[in-house]
């Protein structure tokens, strides 16, 4: 049934191509904030704590994180549309393994997120952002992006399947949003004066994704952040897929 | 008679406490045109959902073509085609694309799936709708497409749960021509639930009557008519009404006695 799996993933991608508003909005917002942050407070990049790369490579990882947040609701919306139309039952009665019905839209969303991450990387390179380890850095950033995106897609799809309302897929975005501000998003740890914010940032998984990306871009963070970031996002992405699949068992056919 | 569908002592209770199936047992022969009759809420759709693996049973057993559908739900889908009460179509896709996609899901190559889609478009008289999105179809054409999708992979057994609801008389006649052709010339087993008893009377030969999750009668339609009205010649519709009314009267008199 490898063919059926590929057909389902292809369908998920085509759904996004036909209705690209969510990923395009996510991309546009990420790019907008990247440019605004850099234009507004980019001058602080001259401080020593930002390394030699300046502010753009420092703030760039936030664009990748917010990109996945912007497009993660797509999987839930595809599933919801299929359930509302009754088509999910038709797909359920095909010889394809039933887990692929849930996983395929998540994978499609994740691939879409990866595509737009590559676009962001290309734009960043055009603006002079350098990659510490060349193509290895690019692959590392894409891997972190893939796992982070899968995490958000899985939880979004799972929540939608449990509630049966596509609006609820946005719960994940809303829940993750504050984490962006409880981290080293805008300033390196050395310049954060609040003790409680520093303490919270250590417990915030977003910190490890941000700093892991910074290790790969300008090399301003230690390698451990990248490895921890990989480990954390690998665990959360597995947990989110399991959550989505368990949620699918609750669907009333 | 080679038994195609064997159901033994099937029970199903929903989480809200409704006992939809209470020990249902049936044998349906290969190539039979079988109809399951019963009032609303009798358990007809639940039985179809259990047998097609959409929902799980609580206890009992059933087999289709000698296989246990629950142990291999993916494999059994190659043998069965299902057209349920509600349309199961993606409204955002075009008619032809939906049929081709369905064929691809069942392992047909793109060329085979396209050829099969064209056959079904002709058969269900959807040629002028081929490139329309499903959402733009009339109610009757949506039903035609819904039924065509159930036939893409040439199933050996067809589960039709109120298939003609919403079709105009011409579409219904066309639909039954297709189904009876499949049944008679290709030996496809048909398991039909319907409230249009004239359709059941005209096309089916065997039946079962389910009331309150229990089978009250299983046998030929002719024998049911004879059982209900030994002296006369009532239609299936009249025989069914007479039987259900007698059940209701018995229920009322039993309640009064209590």
Q: What is the pLDDT of residues A98-135, one digit of tens each?
A: 889 889 988 988 999 999 999 999 999 998 888 999 99
Q: Which residue in B217, B218, B213, B216 sits closest to B47, CA to CA?
A: B213
In this prediction the pTM is 0.84
At A225, list the tokens: 């952040």
The DSSP secondary-structure symbol of A78 reads H
The residue of B56, B89, B101 whose CB has the most chain A CBs within 10 angstroms, and thus the best one to mutate to test that interface, is: B101
Query: Which CATH number, 3.40.50.300, 3.30.230.10, 3.90.1150.10, 3.60.20.10, labels domain B1-76+194-258?
Result: 3.40.50.300
Look at B213 and A21; give whichever has higher pLDDT. B213
State the virtual CA torsion across B250, B252, B253, B257 in degrees, nearest 10: 130
Does A164 have pLDDT greater than 80?
no
b/e per residue, A113-134, with b = 16+ CB within 10 A?
A: bbebbeebbebbeeeebebbee
The residue of A10, A84, A95, A97 whose CB has the most chain B CBs within 10 angstroms, and thus the best one to mutate to test that interface, is: A95
- Return the pLDDT at A170: 74
Residue with tokens 């569908």: B5
CA angle B34, B39, B45 (to 5 degrees): 60
* Chain B CB contacts of A96 below 8 Å: 74, 105
**B106 and A CB contact within 8 Å:** yes
- Return the pLDDT at A225: 93
| B66 Cβ contact partners less than 8 Å away, ≥ 6 residues apart | none
Give the residue from chain B lying closest to A78, CA to CA: B90
ipTM of the complex: 0.87
pLDDT-based confidence at residue A141 (cuts at 50, 70, 90): very high
Residue with tokens 């409204």: B91
The answer for A 17-56 residues in CB contact with B (under 8 A) is: 18
Q: Where are the domains of chain B?
A: 1-76+194-258
Q: Can you tell me the distance from the alpha carbon of B239 to that of B225, in angstroms, rounded to the nearest whole number?
A: 6
Answer whether A253 sits within 8 Å of B49, measured CB to CB. Answer: yes
10-residue averages of pLDDT along chain B (258 residues): 92 93 95 94 93 92 91 89 91 96 94 96 93 93 92 95 86 90 93 93 94 95 92 88 86 61
| A71 Cβ contact partners less than 8 Å away, ≥ 6 residues apart | A22, A23, A25, A26, A27, A109, A112, A113, A116, A149
Count how many pairs of residues, chain A against chain B, have C-beta atoms within 8 Å. Answer: 61
Give the residue from chain A lying closest to B87, CA to CA: A86
Of B54, B80, B106, the CB nearest to A89: B54
Look at A56 and A139; give whichever has higher pLDDT. A139
Answer whether B105 sits within 8 Å of A7, measured CB to CB. Answer: yes
Q: Can you tell me the distance from the alpha carbon of B12 to that of B24, in angstroms, rounded to the nearest whole number?
A: 10
* Chain A CB contacts of B101 below 8 Å: 7, 11
Q: B90 phi and psi, to 5 degrees?
A: -85, 110
Q: pLDDT exceeding 90 applies to what percent of chain A?
A: 34
The answer for B 168-197 residues in CB contact with A (under 8 A) is: none
Q: Can you tell me the distance from the alpha carbon of B180 to that of B190, in angstroms, rounded to the nearest whole number?
A: 9
Look at A189 and A74; give whichever has higher pLDDT. A189
């Amino acid at each position: 049934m490898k063919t059926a799996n590929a057909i389902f993933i292809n369908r998920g991608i085509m759904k996004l191509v036909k209705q690209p508003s969510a990923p395009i909005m996510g991309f546009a917002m990420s790019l907008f904030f990247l440019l605004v942050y850099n234009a507004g407070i980019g001058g602080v990049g001259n401080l020593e704590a930002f390394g030699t790369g300046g502010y753009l490579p420092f703030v760039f990882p936030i664009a990748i994180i917010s990109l996945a947040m912007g497009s993660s609701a797509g999987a839930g919306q595809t599933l919801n549309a299929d359930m509302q139309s009754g088509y999910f039952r038709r797909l359920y009665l095909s010889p394809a393994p039933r887990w692929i019905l849930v996983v395929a839209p998540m994978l499609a969303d994740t691939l879409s997120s990866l595509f737009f991450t590559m676009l962001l990387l290309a734009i960043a390179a055009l603006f002079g952002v350098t990659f510490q380890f060349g193509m290895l850095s690019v692959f590392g950033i894409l891997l972190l992006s893939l796992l982070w995106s899968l995490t958000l897609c899985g939880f979004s799809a799972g929540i939608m399947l449990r509630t049966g309302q596509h609006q609820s897929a946005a719960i994940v975005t809303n829940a993750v949003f504050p984490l962006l501000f409880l981290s080293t998003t805008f300033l390196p740890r050395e310049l954060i004066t609040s003790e409680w914010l520093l303490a919270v940032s250590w417990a915030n998984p977003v910190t490890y994704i941000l700093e892991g990306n910074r290790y790969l871009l300008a090399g301003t963070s230690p390698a451990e952040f990248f490895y921890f970031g990989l480990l954390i996002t690998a665990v959360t992405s597995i947990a989110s897929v399991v959550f989505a699949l368990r949620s699918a068992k609750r669907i009333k056919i | 008679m080679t038994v195609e569908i064997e159901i033994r002592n099937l029970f199903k209770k929903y989480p809200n406490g409704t006992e939809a199936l209470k020990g249902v047992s049936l044998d349906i022969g290969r190539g039979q045109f079988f109809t399951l009759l019963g009032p609303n809420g009798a358990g007809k759709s639940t039985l179809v959902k259990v047998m097609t693996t959409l929902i799980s049973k609580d206890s009992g057993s059933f087999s289709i073509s000698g296989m246990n559908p629950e142990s291999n739900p993916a494999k059994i889908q190659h043998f069965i085609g299902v057209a349920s009460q509600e349309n199961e179509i993606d409204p955002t896709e075009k008619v032809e694309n939906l049929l081709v996609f369905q064929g691809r899901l069942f392992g047909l190559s793109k060329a085979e799936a396209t050829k099969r889609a064209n056959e079904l478009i002709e058969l269900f008289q959807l040629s002028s709708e081929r490139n329309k999105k499903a959402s733009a179809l009339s109610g009757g054409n949506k039903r035609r497409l819904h039924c065509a999708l159930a036939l893409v992979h040439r199933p050996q057994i067809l589960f039709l749960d109120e298939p003609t609801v919403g079709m105009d008389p011409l579409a219904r006649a066309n639909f039954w021509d297709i189904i009876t052709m499949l049944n008679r010339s290709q030996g496809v087993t048909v398991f039909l639930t319907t409230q249009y008893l004239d359709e059941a009377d005209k096309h089916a030969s065997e039946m079962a009557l389910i009331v309150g999750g229990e089978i009250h009668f299983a046998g030929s339609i002719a024998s049911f008519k004879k059982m209900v009205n030994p002296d006369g010649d009532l239609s299936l519709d009249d025989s069914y009404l007479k039987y259900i009314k007698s059940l209701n009267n018995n229920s009322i008199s039993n309640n009064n006695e209590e």
